């Protein structure tokens, strides 16, 4: 079918797993790279005996859906109002945004599997809906590009995998244009030293999976091989400081936690801040760009208390 319209609506579920029926007049999002996998499942081949050669039949089990998309990373336009994407982070084990006197804190959460979302996605006149939606998020700041968040969500299929339904009237959220990641707009400091970065990414490390028994079915956050439910990590690509200016190899060897600060944006209502006291360099590789030595470093954010991996603020 021809594709003229792509739009997505998201709404926080009052009761986890109960479809919240997003409305495109109030819950529509500004997204890009929206990709839908209407059916994800396991396949059980039926080992029945046939009286002739050929492929045996199969059936699908553990059916669910995947919705992946990106949003631009900017503020709401008002320092004390949460941006629209804060709602989406509720599905990635964040808590509700907390407005302050001059900023909004978007806190991490650690109780159970947290909140969940309902999604209504449209590809032209085909509608794809999901409930109990949860997943992972990656924040990206790439020099000379606009910052973004990439979401990768799983959800239980609401109704049939698809239905013929036009989106109708759509009201998209309004917000300031995102600003370029560059010298004027972005300051990244690690252990008190201001880096000349080409790229910083923060991957929340959420491992979403379908949980299924004869008594219940849910989208939950599983654990990795070490038992972590949230394992934030990142990548820093930056010009290597001279040894006299800053040594990051010693802390890499010792595993010493370092302070981290990223401030992006200069205008009130359109400033994003990430901060941590628990950044650990896991490895550093050297590359050469523009006849300069760069370090490509993998970093982790290691919590020392509940939800202090890092902080996320808009103002």
pLDDT tens digits for 72-129?
999 999 999 999 999 999 999 999 999 999 999 999 997 788 999 999 999 989 999 9
Residue 106's pLDDT is: 97
Q: Which residues contact 160 (CB under 8 A, 6 or more apart)?
A: none
Q: What are phi and psi of 185, to 5 degrees?
A: -105, -15
pLDDT at residue 227, as a whole number? 65
Could you tell me the mean pLDDT of each successive run of 10 residues in the chain, 315 residues long? 79 97 96 95 85 85 95 97 97 96 94 92 94 98 98 96 89 95 98 97 94 93 76 95 91 95 98 97 93 95 92 97
CA proximity to 292, closest of 235, 236, 238: 238
CA 20 to chain centre: 21
Q: How many CA atoms does the CB half-sphere of 69 hold within 13 Å?
A: 22
Backbone torsions φ then ψ of 74, nearest 5 degrees: -150, 175
Burial 119-157 (b: 16+ CB within 10 A, else e): bbbbbeebbbbbbbbbbbbbbbbbbeeebbbbbbbbbbb
| pLDDT for the residue numbered 43 | 86
Q: What is the pLDDT of residue 83?
A: 97
| pLDDT, position 113 | 87
Cα–Cα distance for residue pair 130/118, rounded to 1 Å: 6
């Amino acid at each position: 079918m021809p594709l003229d319209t792509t739009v997505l609506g998201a709404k926080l579920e009052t009761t986890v797993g109960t479809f919240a029926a997003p409305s495109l007049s109030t819950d529509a999002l500004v997204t890009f790279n929206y990709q839908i996998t209407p059916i994800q499942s396991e396949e059980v081949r039926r080992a029945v005996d046939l009286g002739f050669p050929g492929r045996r039949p199969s059936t699908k089990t553990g059916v669910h859906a995947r919705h992946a998309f990106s949003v631009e990373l900017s503020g709401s336009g008002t320092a004390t109002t949460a941006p629209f994407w804060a709602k989406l982070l509720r599905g990635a084990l964040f808590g509700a945004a907390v407005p302050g006197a001059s900023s909004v804190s978007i806190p991490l959460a650690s109780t159970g599997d947290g909140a969940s979302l309902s999604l209504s996605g449209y590809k032209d006149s085909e509608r794809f809906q999901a409930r109990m939606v949860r997943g992972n998020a990656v924040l990206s700041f790439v020099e000379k590009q606009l910052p973004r968040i990439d979401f990768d969500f799983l959800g239980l299929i609401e109704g049939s995998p698809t239905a013929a339904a036009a989106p109708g009237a759509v009201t998209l959220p309004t917000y300031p244009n995102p600003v370029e990641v560059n010298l004027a707009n972005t300051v990244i400091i690690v252990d008190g030293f201001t880096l000349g970065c080409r790229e910083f990414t923060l991957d929340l490390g959420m491992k979403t999976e379908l949980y299924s028994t004869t008594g219940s079915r849910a989208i939950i956050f599983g654990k990795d091989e070490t038992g972590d439910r949230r394992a934030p990590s990142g990548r820093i690509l930056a010009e290597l400081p001279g040894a006299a200016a800053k040594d990051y190899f010693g802390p890499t060897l010792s595993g010493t936690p370092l302070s981290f600060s990223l401030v992006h944006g200069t205008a009130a209502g359109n400033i994003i801040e990430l901060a941590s006291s628990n950044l650990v360099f896991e490895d550093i590789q050297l590359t050469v760009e523009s006849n300069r030595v760069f370090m490509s470093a993998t970093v982790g954010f290691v919590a020392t208390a509940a939800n202090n991996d890092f902080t996320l603020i808009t103002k």
